[in-house]
Amino acid sequence: MQQTISASQNNTLTLSAAVQVVSAIAIGAALLFAVGFAPMDVAHNAAHDARHAFAFPCH
């Protein structure tokens, strides 16, 4: 069962293991970017000390 998407008999949507794992990686990367690298001033100010402490580039 390596199809990307297959609807099983009881109508629940199932995704292949690989697709789920790749989706999870994308979610993690998006979260890391939002907290650690997002350019908006508000995001930068809120996470400022954390960005410094993880040695992310900051001003």
Partner 1 sequence: MILRNILLSAIVVGLFTGLFYGLFQQSQINPIIYAAEEFEVAEEEPVVQAHSHGAEASQGHHHHDEEAWSPADGFERIAYTLGADIAIAIAYAIMMISLMAFHDLKANNKPKINTLQGTAWGIVAMLAFFVAPAMFGLHPEVPGTEAAVLEGRQTWWLICAILTATGIAVLYYAPMKFKAGGIVLAALPHLIGAPMPEQHGFANTDPAAVEALTQLTSQFYSLTAIGMVIFFVLLGSMSGFVVKRFVKLQTA
* Shortest reach from residue 38's CB to partner 1, in Å: 10
Q: What is the distance between the terminal CA atoms of the chain, rounded to a whole angstrom?
A: 49
Contact between 58 and 52 (Cβ < 8 Å): yes
CA separation for the pair 16, 56 (Å, rounded): 34
Q: Which parts of 12-31 interact with partner 1 (CB under 8 A)?
A: 14-18, 20-25, 27-29, 31
6 binds partner 1 (CB under 8 A): no
Chain positions contacting partner 1, by CB under 8 A: 14-18, 20-25, 27-29, 31-32, 34-37, 39, 41-42, 44-59
